[in-house]
Amino acid sequence: MTRRALALVFSIITLLVVPGLAQNGSSKLYRSVLRIEVATQTPDYETPWNSGRFGGGIGTGFLIGKNQILTNAHVVSNQQRILITVHGSPEKYPAKVEYIAHDCDLALLSLEDFSDFEDFPVFPIGEIPLLESQVTVIGYPVGGDRLSVTKGIVSRIDFQPYSHSRADSHLVVQIDAAINPGNSGGPVLQDGKVVGVAFQGLRQADNTGYIIPTPVVKRFIKDISDGSYDHYAELGINEFPLHNPAMRKALGLEDNGQGVLITNVVPTTSADGVLQPGDVLISLDGNPVDSDGQVLVDGEKVNLNEIVERKYAGDKVAIRFLRNGSWNDVEVTLKPLPASRMYAVQYEKKPRYVVFAGLVFQPLDTNLFATSKFKDVTVRRLFTDYVSKGIFQEKKDIVILTQIEPDPVTSQIDNFTGLAVEKINGIPVTDLQQAHELLYTENPPEFHIIELYGANRPVIIPSAKVDEANQRVQRNYGISSLSNLED
């Protein structure tokens, strides 16, 4: 279909689908709301050597620049093929992911051939909508193939978890319009400008949806402007509200509703070596922190982390805090905390593993935890304390013995699955790569001795029987490779 025919089709569809909007100048922008069809392949952490589960889904995206289509990360996660469709046209246009940010659920796509879209308008990015103001949500929700337009009122602006990664919280805007599957990634408009991206609904309530507001969108766009996505910086503190009058008095604070108690500083983070437990955080960049850990931003009270959220690695933040009755003013340089991704769901990555004579070893992360549902207290503690207590400084991976495939070599080994590996051949295990090197060493000992946290005896494998066991296990269980060590 030619560009002229495509434009004509879209103009007619806009008149049919959005009556009344055709007289509005902003109606031309609706040509640039695109349907995204995705084929996916989800990794299998239970049998990590397998290719995984195939599936697919539908989402929405919209043009924000020349060959730049903004959508949600969860729309295109684990993608194998992406096809873009213009409403009313049978043609499907192949597309690819240019940048993806799972921590803020945004992605930027491009078309392999943009020529048919050259004269399509792009959406300008606006500001955060005000409470009680009306917004328009556009997308392709399930239940039909046509473009859908709904309206809603902004009912809340808050700092809340994003469901896609399960580990990140950012600014969100709540509206009283349902965000259904398929709507995800669609533009939310006000006065002809994008004020957010539709991304998740609330299952427990009717007509409640959430949108990613423009500060998060603008930060993503700026972050990728240098050709890579660098993730969010972290201050690295945990705080406790200071409402109790007696506690405030003991800390030397006035009864003015300001200040929160710092309860933990994560090792190696931006605040490490500057702040410490027991300090009272008073302000960030001159913005007073109230006793509930809130700051006033854009006329709304939100979590204090919003100050850091709008900055980038290498930026500085001014901190005012009280320690032992003395006031302190410092600047810290912000940096990311890669270890925190332990708690985030991983996408576009094949599971890492090592198979050794029927023993299957995997590094602990949220994907594996959700699959295996570990019950061992030590494993749960290692997972919970991995970042807050700085375990990541000693162990890049928490290596778990996840499975024991039946084989003559492993016939007398049981009750060890789901435990964390402490040592191999007397050497503390720090990551999966090292575990592989210890197990597949050029000069193996007569017996491989594998010590597990919480086990009353080690797992012992005769080195002379490993090669034959590996061959049987690969043949019997369809294991194409005995390891995958790449992230």
Residue-by-residue DSSP string for 172-197: EEEESS---TTTTT-EEEETTEEEEE
Inter-residue contact 211 to 199 (CB < 8 Å): yes
168 catalytic? Reply is: no
For the chain, give the number of residues: 487
pLDDT computed for residue 479 by the predictor: 96
Active-site choice (32, 77, 184, 340)? 184
Question: Burial, 240: exposed, middle or buried (Cβ in 10 Å; 0-12, 13-18, 19+)?
Answer: middle
pLDDT computed for residue 205 by the predictor: 56
Residue 414, number of CB atoms within 10 A of its CB = 8
Q: 55 φ, ψ to 5°?
A: -160, -160
Q: Cα–Cα distance between 185 and 180 in angstroms, integer?
A: 11
Q: Which residues contact 304 (CB under 8 A, 6 or more apart)?
A: 239, 260, 281, 284, 289, 293, 294, 295
Active-site choice (32, 87, 105, 290)? 105
* 43 DSSP assignment: -
Buried b (16+ CB within 10 A) or exposed e, 155-186: eebebbebebbebbbbbbbbbebbbbebbbbb
Q: What is the pLDDT along the chain (487 residues), one digit of tens a residue?
A: 443 333 333 333 333 333 333 334 445 677 899 999 999 999 999 999 999 999 999 999 999 999 999 999 999 999 999 999 987 778 999 999 999 999 999 999 999 999 999 999 999 999 999 999 999 999 998 766 788 899 999 999 999 999 999 999 999 999 998 788 889 999 999 998 999 999 976 655 567 899 999 999 999 999 999 999 999 999 999 999 999 999 999 999 999 999 999 999 999 999 999 999 999 999 999 999 999 999 999 888 999 999 999 999 999 999 999 999 999 999 999 999 999 999 999 999 999 999 999 999 999 999 999 999 999 999 999 999 999 999 999 999 999 999 999 999 998 888 899 999 999 999 999 999 999 999 999 999 999 999 999 999 999 999 999 999 999 999 999 999 999 998 7
pLDDT computed for residue 142 by the predictor: 77
Whole-number Cα distances in Å, 438 to 356, 372, 410, 433: 11, 25, 19, 9
From the list 469, 482, 476, the residue with the least C-alpha distance to 411 is 469
Quote the pTM value: 0.90
pLDDT computed for residue 470 by the predictor: 97
Structural domains in the chain?
Answer: 3-226 (2.40.10.120), 237-333 (2.30.42.10), 352-484 (3.20.190.20)
Inter-residue contact 287 to 295 (CB < 8 Å): yes
184 catalytic? Reply is: yes
Query: Which amino acid, 398?
Result: I
Residue 220, number of CB atoms within 10 A of its CB = 24
Inter-residue contact 362 to 430 (CB < 8 Å): no
Question: Burial, 115: exposed, middle or buried (Cβ in 10 Å; 0-12, 13-18, 19+)?
Answer: exposed
The DSSP element (H or E) to which 54 belongs, if any, is strand 53-65
Active-site choice (74, 87, 102, 231)? 74
Q: Which residues contact 31 (CB under 8 A, 6 or more apart)?
A: 7, 10, 11, 14, 86, 120, 121
Inter-residue contact 186 to 33 (CB < 8 Å): yes
270 catalytic? Reply is: no
Q: Which residues contact 72 (CB under 8 A, 6 or more apart)?
A: 59, 105, 106, 107, 164, 184, 185, 197, 198, 199, 212
